[in-house]
């Protein structure tokens, strides 16, 4: 089996936001990962840990108050290097995104079909009749009858609008699809259908088009159902990454272990997990491990030394001192 080169590689990505009152917030801190064609990676972590900022940076869609460093390599080419000039030819056509809340973002006075066709028209890939037949094909692909293209958003259920948002992101046959909380706010049945759709797209399109999916969610069990890889973010960093089942069965960071064990709170606000405490502020320097105040396994070095990236098992990395034998093994 020959290893395919990664379709997407993110290298030491950092994002800072200028704050209105002066100072800055370090939202993404040294994020590095790569994915091969057809991979499905879950990007997980509580609210505010930098998931959305990471994928917006990959799309070149951050606001002007953001500064970015690092590389985003698409088939080996750094698309961030020249700003808008190097990224715009690839945005939507090679790397595409379903925004958080996309199903509520359709323009109410335009048909679903016209809105799905927009990225194709933008990239000059189809117009008129060819665009209409491509829209019908895309709707069928996401499980909606093609003849519903001329309906308006209010004629679609939430689940159908979310499918339509996915169809729109797929319009130009991208290689990489970034989906930001695509099932949040949908009921459990519809959520399962959307997740199933993402799996089928990456396995069927994975053959011909190499669709690689990054699924952003605060819901680790969702990722466990759908993804073959997971990256757990905390305080702007990827604190653990590897194969889904390796992380599930052998978490190497206490945060991942606690995320798996966490249950949604009883009030039904599933953004609130039962890990006591809150993530640290990102607008000031973090000394030691960012997770230390909430960690049930913290020990001496955690309050002073920030953990670097370690790979305790091949292909499975974590930023946690527990993986450093020189710290955890008692001298004999
Ligand atoms: N436009 C912005 N200006 C300033 N801070 C921002 C902006 N967008 C996000 N942030 C901050 O960056 C951090 C990461 O946010 P975000 O990427 O949205 O997290 P997530 O998607 O994981 O919930 C948070 O502290 C958030 O408040
Ligand atoms: Mg987000």
Q: What is the pLDDT of residue 205?
A: 65
Judge if 186 and 88 occupy the same domain.
yes
Please identify which residue in the block is written with the tokens 């590897």: 242
Strand 24-35 to 176-180 pairing: unpaired
Q: What is the pLDDT of residue 280?
A: 96
68-106 pLDDT, tens digit each:
999 999 999 999 999 999 999 999 999 999 999 888 889
Residues 177, 142 contacting (CB under 8 angstroms): no
**DSSP codes, 179-236:** EESTTTTS-HHHHHHHHHHHHHHHHHHHHHT--EEEEEES-HHHHHHH-SEEEEEETT
135-163 pLDDT, tens digit each:
999 999 999 999 999 999 999 999 999 99
Nearest-CA residue for atom 24 of ligand 1: 48
Judge if 43 and 131 occupy the same domain.
no
This model's pTM is above 0.75: yes
Domain residues for 52? 8-94+174-276
Q: Please give the Cα distance from 175 to 75 (Å, whole number).
A: 10
Nearest-CA residue for atom 16 of ligand 1: 50
195-241 pLDDT, tens digit each:
888 888 887 765 565 689 999 998 887 888 889 999 999 999 999 99
Residues 54, 235 contacting (CB under 8 angstroms): no
Confidence of residue 266 (pLDDT cuts 50, 70, 90): very low
Judge if 88 and 111 occupy the same domain.
no
Between 263 and 20, name the one with better pLDDT. Answer: 20
DSSP bridge pairs for 237: 234
Q: Is the CB of 234 under 6 A from ligand 1?
A: no
Q: What is the pLDDT of residue 328?
A: 75
pLDDT of residue 269 exceeding 80, the answer is no
Mean pLDDT over each residue of the chain, to the nearest integer: 90
Nearest-CA residue for atom 3 of ligand 1: 17
Judge if 19 and 167 occupy the same domain.
no
Number of folded domains that form the chain: 2
Domain contains 302: no
Judge if 158 and 204 occupy the same domain.
no
Q: What is the pLDDT of residue 265?
A: 45
**How many angstroms does the Cα of residue 280 sit away from the middle of ligand 1?**
13
Domain boundary among 276, 297, 318: 276
Q: What is the pLDDT of residue 79?
A: 97
Q: Is the CB of 63 under 6 A from ligand 1?
A: yes
Domain contains 294: no
Q: Is the CB of 48 under 6 A from ligand 1?
A: yes
Q: Is the CB of 25 under 6 A from ligand 1?
A: yes
Judge if 75 and 151 occupy the same domain.
no
Proximal ligand: closest to the CA of 101: 2
1-22 pLDDT, tens digit each:
446 679 999 999 999 999 999 9
């Amino acid at each position: 089996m020959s290893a395919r080169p990664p379709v997407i590689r993110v290298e030491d990505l950092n994002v800072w936001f200028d704050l209105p009152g002066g100072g800055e917030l370090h939202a993404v801190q040294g994020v590095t990962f790569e994915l091969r064609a057809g991979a499905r990676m879950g990007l997980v972590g509580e609210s505010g840990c930098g998931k959305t900022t990471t994928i917006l940076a990959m799309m070149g869609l951050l606001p002007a108050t953001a500064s970015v460093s690092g590389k985003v390599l698409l088939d080996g080419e750094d698309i961030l290097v020249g700003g808008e000039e190097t990224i715009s030819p690839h945005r939507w056509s090679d790397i595409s995104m379903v925004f958080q809340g996309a199903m509520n973002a359709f323009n109410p006075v335009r048909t679903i079909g016209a809105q799905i066709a927009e990225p194709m028209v933008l990239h000059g890939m189809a117009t008129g009749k060819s665009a209409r037949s491509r829209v019908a094909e895309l709707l069928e692909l996401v499980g909606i009858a093609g003849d519903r293209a001329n309906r308006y958003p209010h004629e679609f259920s939430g689940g159908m609008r979310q499918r339509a948002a996915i169809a729109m992101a797929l319009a130009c046959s991208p290689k990489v699809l970034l989906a930001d909380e695509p099932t949040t706010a949908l009921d459990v049945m519809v959520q399962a259908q959307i997740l199933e759709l993402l799996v089928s797209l990456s396995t069927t399109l994975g053959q011909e088009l190499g669709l690689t999916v990054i699924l952003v969610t605060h819901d680790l069990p969702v990722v466990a159902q759908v993804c073959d890889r997971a990256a757990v973010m905390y305080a702007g960093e990827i604190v653990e990454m590897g194969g889904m089942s390796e992380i599930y069965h052998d978490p190497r960071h206490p945060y991942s272990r606690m995320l798996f064990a966490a249950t949604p709170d009883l009030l039904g606000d599933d953004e609130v997990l039962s890990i006591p405490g809150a993530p640290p502020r990102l607008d000031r320097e973090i000394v030691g491990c960012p997770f230390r105040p909430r960690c049930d396994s913290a020990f001496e070095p955690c309050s002073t030394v920030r953990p670097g990236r370690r790979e305790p098992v091949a292909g499975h990395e974590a930023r946690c001192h527990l993986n450093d034998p020189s710290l955890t093994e008692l001298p004999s």
